[in-house]
Structure formats: structure tokens, C-alpha cells
Structure 1
Amino acid sequence: MRPLFAEIRLDALRDNYRTARALSGGRTLAVVKANAYGHGALRCARVLEDEADGFAVACIEEALALREGGIRAPILLLEGVFEADEYRLCAEQDLWCVVQNETQLAMLEASGVSVPLHIWLKMDSGMHRAGFAPEDYALAWQRLQASGKVTAIVRMSHFARADEPEQPMTLAQIETFDAACRQLGGDESLANSAGLMAHPRARRAWSRAGIMLYGINPLPQGRGPELKPVMRLASRVFGVREIAAGEPLGYGNNFVAKCPTRVGLVACGYADGYPRLASSGSPVAVDGQRTQVIGRVSMDMLTVDLTDLPQAGIGSEVELWGDVVNVNEVAAAAGTIAYEVLCNVKRARFV
């Protein structure tokens, strides 16, 4: 059996949620969209359900999969609905729903929902991706109140640069939000993971913890509380060879040895979700010792430098990320972010 596996440490997930909730000082949704950032949404929701204040997913398909799996806690649809009939399903399945534009609001006003819905009304406080403009927000809130279709309204927005603590934009977004909501009632939600960790003024009645649940610090230089990595992706060396100085390795002669080099062949490639652009120089750990990828990552395999690890050979364990190698390092080597790397994992055995 191919030796690539993703170890999911659910105790670490629980600990990270507790850290997020303690920072929040209020209620905290556990964000499990995109299959819990590649970790398994149902698995993660089940282990958190006894203490999480609720969950957040992208869309109704993800929410229904959790309901079918027995999750009864509140579930918020972060993108809201795409079709009017989804409001009926929200009522039937007791799902909470974001309303972020005129189309969604009008569909709700015209809907024949059987019971009032719990709505999160989104403001565009400066990110300019989704949400009602600040000057239109109070009217949208009033329309929801007058519709007879809602049981509660949580006021929310989303930050564009919360993971850059020195940038003034997050404070400007908070001030824009507060000014537009001054006369409106109900709970509020501003903080995502980076907001929770770096911006105390963003901590309101509800927070939304995403990437930090999985042990990934979104802040530069690892600032903030200690988090525990939930996923450890590992494989094994299944071939070893030596190449002479001046010899190339892999597709495109991406790597040329500067000295005699001992090479380990590892069962993991970009078809498994390891980023192709994280080629020569990306860190790995072989039997717990750090070394690096050399040569170009291919579809099913990658090659690592064993020159300074004489004890390593066929059967040696290779950690792609986890306890020794931080997934942020791999993401940086690929010119991307840990979110994308984690969401792309596939074909590995989950244990």
C-alpha cells in the first residue's frame, strides 16, 4: 500500500478551539468549510460539537452533509444562498444564513419560509468583496426586521488585512462598521482567526475561528498564542540513489548537483496536493531530521537530499509537514499560503 498518510490529531483541534474561544471572550463558530480546510469536516465537527458554539461552512451543500452526519449544532452558511428555494431548506434544517447582497435579501423577503430564520447581515466595511455598503446597511437591517422572516440578526463584516497587524486598514474597517451600526440592535461578529489573535477591538459577541483551529498561525513571525498542528502529512522513502557532481535530477534539469549527492525518492507528488512550485529548497524532515526537496516535484513522487543523513534509506519516514516542518514553510516555498496547501491534500490515507 502506498505509504502516504495524513494524520489528523483531533485532540489538537479541540485545544486550538479552546484557545480561540478563550481569546474571543464570547461565542465562537468553528469554521469547517472546504472539508475543514482539508482535514475532514464531519470528523472535525463531531469532535467539537460538545463544546463549539456552532459551525460555519461556505454553502448549503456543506451544511447538509453535516446534518446528514448527525451534527445538530448551529451551522452558518457564510456565502448565503444561491437560489430562493434554499431558504426553505434552511428553515427545515435549522441553518443560519448570511445575507450579503440585495438579491439574497429580496429572495428572503419573497420567500415562504415556514419558520423565521437566524440571519447574519454582512457589511462591506472596506474589503469590497461582499456585503452591503455602510450607507445602505441600516436600511437592509430594517427590511429584515420588517419582513417577519427572521428571528435574530447578527451584524457582521470581514477583514481584508487582519493578518498584517501593523496595517491601519483593520482599525479603519472596525470604525466604519461601528459608525454604520450605532443605532442598530443585535449581536456582532467581526473577528476571523487573525482578527482574534491580533485585534482585541474586533472581539465581539461572536467570532469565527478558521485556520487557527487547524494549528496554523496566520500572523507573521508566529505571533500570538501557541497552536498545535492538526494535520501531519508523511510518506516514506522507497528508492535511493547517488548522483555525481554536475549531474541533473528530475524534470527540466531543475536541480544540478554541486557535489556527490545521495537522493531519496518519496511517494508524494502534486497529484497528492504537495505544491509543484515547492521544488528545490522546500523543507522536509526525514526520520525527524530536517533536509530539503531537490529537483522538481512530479505528479506522484518527489526527491529529497539524503547526503547528510547516512542513517536514512528505504523505509525512512518523510514528514512533508506537521511537527518538525511547519506547513507555512512549505507554502512560502511555493509562493502561496497554508490554506491552499491544506485544502489541496488528496489521495493520502487519513488516519
Structure 2
Amino acid sequence: MTLHTATAVIDLDALSNNYRLIQSLSPNAKVLAVLKANGYGHGLELIAKALPNADAFGVARIDEALALRAAGIVKPIVLLEGFFAEEDIDTLAANNLQTIVHNEQQLAAIVNANLDVPLKVWLKIDTGMHRLGINPEQLSDFYQALSQSKNVQQPIVLMSHLGCADDKANTATTQQITLFDELTADLPLEKSLANSAGVLLWPESHYQWIRPGLLLYGVSPLSTDVGIDGILPVMTLQSSLIAVREIAAGAAVGYGGTWISEKSTRIGVVAIGYGDGYPRHAPNGTPVLINGRRVPLIGRVSMDMITVDLGAESEDNVGDITTLWGKGLAVEEVAVFATTIPYELLCNITRRVHVQLAK
């Protein structure tokens, strides 16, 4: 008997399917596939190599970009937070990395640099999210400085970020799109605004570049929906039963004895816990999939284990595979139980979780 510990099963066919669907929603736009946070927990280099048709990749930090270059990825890579220090500019130039510019310090560092090869720059405008981006009234000055700099490859790309695109009823997105259009109307440049939710709900935000992230991985970015027609989960998080026990009514399970059995039953212990990235705050009743049926999580999540109520008449055995989320159990649903978002669950997968390709 072979026992399996926590394993993220990655379905690259599902990834390709999702990419094709995204392209069909915006056939005239180029795709900047977002791979930050280790490809949303799926494996940075693995996902990049499985997307040969992507026009560019987006990451958050320089070390992610350098890891892609070390893995042989030659496609354009965009630093979605830009660079953090002046000395980073030489690294960008040496590795052909593109950067977002969103503040005065970055602009000054680029303009004053001594570069042999100019950098490709994406200029980020704050259209209402109020996180990163230059103020609208700064656009003219920034554009002129970047356009006239020998250190900047022409033309630049203009971009912003949607803060409420996951909610079709929220008027903030329309306001952001309108402002972006007004600010950039007289600039004949490529533009980018749509994230995953924008791709799905706001076709007027697609422009020349779309930036899908969560949607690539088969997870809904929308605030109300679980599952999008045609989108397939790329990750299925699995482990196995390492113990099956019979307990009597009144028995307490787990740290603190927070769950007490109301009747005699069989419980299962699954080899996964918060040390693997499973949410510690997942409550009693959070679904787990075993042998084609859902069983409830019971007791506190431990570092290495969780317990589930298999039921008095169950026939599950040690070694049986359990699914924590993925095929058959949407990560969006687990996130609701755990009062968090799918992004966090996926990105919290730890290094000790094995990665295995789906067969």
C-alpha cells in the first residue's frame, strides 16, 4: 500500500483549454499571462512553459522574472510592481525585462540611468483604485519624459487596474474605463486594463492587451459565481487517509476538543494541514471529497492533519485518496467556508506539497 501525502495535481490540458477560452473572449487582444506568486501556487516555470502562445508574462518581483529567464523562458516578462531600487535597472536591462512605472522615483531612475539598451516601459495610471499609479494630472509630464528618454524603448504601453471588475453592478468600473478613455484618447499607444474579471464582464476594457490571472487557472474571479462555463480547474489538491477510527457518541476530536460527536461514527485522518497551506481557520463542515462523496471537516485543522466525519456506515480505508479542492470540489466553494478568497488558498500552497502532472 502506497500512502500519498499532500500533492498538487496540475492539469496542463486544462490550462491550455482555459487559455483558448480566454483568447476567444478577446480575439483581437494580446495576452499577458499573470504568473506571480509562483503561478498562483501552480508552479512558476511549469506554467510558463505550458503557455507557448502567450504574448508576455507578468510577475510581481524581479526574482520571479529571473527564475523564468533561468528556466529558459525568452518571452517578454513584465514586472507588474515595477522595480524597487535604482540598482535594479541594470538587472532589468541585462535580462530584457519590461517594467511598469508608477511613481516619480522610478521615472527619475530610468531617465538618469546610463543604459546601453533601452527598457520597455508600461506607464500605470491611477484611474480610481488608489493603490499604484500616477495621478491623472501627471500623465502628460510622465509621457513626455518617457517619450524623450534614450533609455526608454518606444512606444510605451499605457495601463491601469480595475478595482471592482468582479461585480457587474458596481459603477466604479464604468467610471474607471471612462476616465482611462478620456486620459488616453489622444495617445496612439497600446493600452491595457482588463484583469480576469475584466475579460469576463467588461469587453470595453480589453484594448490591445488583456492580463488574465486567476481565470487561467480555472477559477472564477467573480464575486458571485462559482465556476465559469468552459473553464477547468488546473490544480486539484489531494492527499490520503492515513487513519480511520471508530469513535463513540460524546467523543471530542482534535485540539481543544472543539468538535464533539453526537453519535457513534467513523472518522478519517487526512495527511494535510496548515503546514501545507490548507487554511487553519476552515470551520467544521468544510467539504472534503473522498471516494466520490463529500464528507465534513471536523475539529481544528492541525499543522499536518485534518479530520473528517466519514459516517458510521462508511467503507473508506487507509490509503484512499482525498480531494481538498479542484476537480469535483471547486476551490471557490472551499474559500467561502474558510471566509477567504480562492487567490489566498492557491497562493498559500507550501513548498513541501508535491507537484504532480495529471495523467
TM-score (ref. length: structure 2) = 0.94
Note the alpha carbon deviations across 1:96-149, whole angstroms, 9 max, x for none. 110011111111111112112111000110000010011111221111101122
**2:219/2:227 contact within 8 Å kept:** no
Name the aligned partner's letter for residue 261 of structure 1: T
Which residue matches 1:273? 277
- Aligned residue for 1:222, secondary structure, equals coil
> C-alpha distance in 1, partners of 2:334/2:318?
23
Q: Confirm whether residue 123 of structure 1 aligns to residue 144 of structure 2.
A: no
How far apart, CA to CA, are the structure 2 residues paired with 1:131 and 1:22?
Answer: 30
In structure 2, the partner of 1:228 is: 232
**CA–CA separation in structure 1 for the residues paired with 2:313 and 2:199:** 41
Which of 68, 74, 80 is the aligned partner of 1:72?
A: 74
Q: Which residue of 2 aligns with 1:290?
A: 294
Matched-pair contact (CA < 8 Å) for 2:227–2:330: no
2:353 equivalent to 1:348: yes
1:134-149 paired onto structure 2 within 5 Å: 134-149=136-151
Pick from 305, 322, 326 the counterpart of residue 326 of structure 2: 322
Q: Structure 1, unaligned stretches of length 5 or more?
A: none
Letter in 2 for 1:104: Q
2:54, 2:145 → 1: CA distance?
31
Give distance in 1, aligned partners of 2:238 and 2:226: 23
Give the equivalent residue in structure 1 for 2:60: 58
Give the secondary structure class of the aligned counterpart of 2:275.
helix
Shift of 1:265: 0.6
Matches within 5 A, 1:51-200: 51-151=53-153, 152-200=155-203
Cα offset, 1:286, TM superposition: 0.4
Q: Secondary structure at the match of 1:140?
A: helix
Corresponding residue SS for 2:15: helix
Between 1:306-315 and 1:29-38, the stretch displaced more is 306-315
Q: Kindly provide the amino acid, as one letter, of the partner of residue 117 in structure 2.
A: V
- Aligned partners of 2:231, 2:312: CA distance in 1, in Å? 31
CA deviation vs aligned residue, 1:22-67 (integer Å, no higher than 9, x gap): 212210111111110111110111111x211110000111111100
**Larger displacement relative to structure 2 (203-212 or 141-150):** 141-150
SS in 2 for 1:195: helix
d(CA) in 1 for partners of 2:302, 2:42: 23
Higher RCO structure (Cα 8 Å, ≥6 apart):
2
Of Structure 1 and Structure 2, which has the larger fraction of its residues in helix? 1
Distance 1:258 1:277 in 2: 22
CA contact (8 A) 1:281 1:294 kept: yes
Deviation of 1:2 after TM superposition, in Å, equals 5.0
Number of aligned pairs?
350
- Displacement of 1:309 after TM fit? 5.8
Counterpart AA for 2:337: A
3-state SS in 2 of match to 1:270? coil
Q: Which amino acid aligns with 2:156?
A: I
Match in the other structure for 1:312: 316
Normalization by structure 1: what TM-score?
0.96
Change beyond 3 A, Cα 1:231–1:201:
same
Q: What CA distance in whole angstroms lies between the structure 1 residues aligned with 2:241 and 2:256?
A: 22
Instruction: Measure, in 1, the Cα distance between the counterparts of 2:312 and 2:41.
Output: 33
Is the CA contact 1:277–1:333 (under 8 Å) kept in the aligned structure 2? no
Deviation per residue, 1:289-316 (Å, 9 max, x gap)? 1111111111110001100661212111
Give the AA of the match of 2:201: A
Tell me the alpha carbon deviations over residues 314-346 of structure 1, each in whole angstroms, 9 at most, x when there is no partner. Answer: 111110111111111111111111111111112
Q: What does residue range 232-247 of structure 1 map to in structure 2 within 5 Å?
A: 232-247=236-251
Cα separation, 2, equivalents of 1:245 and 1:223: 38
